[in-house]
Amino acid sequence: MNPSISFFYFLSFLTILSALMVVISKNPIHSVLYLILTFFSISGHYILLNAQFIAAVNIIVYAGAIMVLFLFVIMFLNLKQDQADSKANLTKIAATIVGGTVFVILFGAYRKTTLPAVDTANYNSQVGMIENLGHLLFKEYLLPFELISILLLIAMIGAVMLGKREIGERHF
């Protein structure tokens, strides 16, 4: 068996297992840590697809910045186990029904899927590299790229304005 195929199966198993543990885990901190493991294994899939830049961005942005934000919010809220048993059982039943429905839909879609043939003569091994991504962003998608940069600038200014202390404001 090809080593990359066995590595793909290992990463797929690890991704599914850690994603399930995100949902199953009762401790929110453990759930966030499993989510970080899920992001790392998804980055491994990106590397197998020859998209190294997207893998690095996934690790930096999601496993780094977003997970720090999640951990901060969880620790700030100080979540406690105050749910009633009847609500917990109802939630488990609803989650089982929704999960089973999603599984049936995905299995049906998987059965109908056919993989296209690989054209080795026209294969470009540099398709996921940052140089090609830069050419694509700054030629074909220049306007959406600039609009997103303006949107992020406005969001950053809004966050600074919301976090700014007013004169005479007291913090308890």
Global pTM value: 0.60
Q: What angle do CA 82, 84, 86 make, to 5 degrees?
A: 160
Task: Say what the pLDDT of residue 54 is.
Answer: 87
Q: Which of 39, 32, 31, 33 is nearest to 15 (CA)?
A: 39
The token pair that represents 22 in the structure block: 């995100």
Instruction: Name the DSSP class of 125.
Output: T
Neighbours of 104 (CB within 10 A): 10
Tokens for 77, please give them: 């809220």
Residue 45, pLDDT score: 93
Confidence at residue 65, expressed as pLDDT on a 0 to 100 scale: 82
Tokens of 64: 């780094």
> So what's the pLDDT on residue 72?
76
The answer to whether the CB of 44 falls within 8 A of the CB of 11 is yes
Record the tokens describing residue 128, joined without a space: 């996921």
pLDDT at residue number 120: 78
Element (H, E) at 54: helix 52-57
Q: pLDDT by residue for the chain (172 residues), tens digit each? A: 678 788 999 999 999 999 999 989 888 888 888 999 999 999 999 999 888 888 988 998 888 888 887 777 777 776 555 545 567 788 888 888 998 999 999 999 989 888 778 777 877 777 767 888 888 888 999 999 899 889 988 888 887 777 676 666 665 5
Yes or no: say if 83 and 71 are a contact pair by the CB < 8 Å rule.
Answer: no
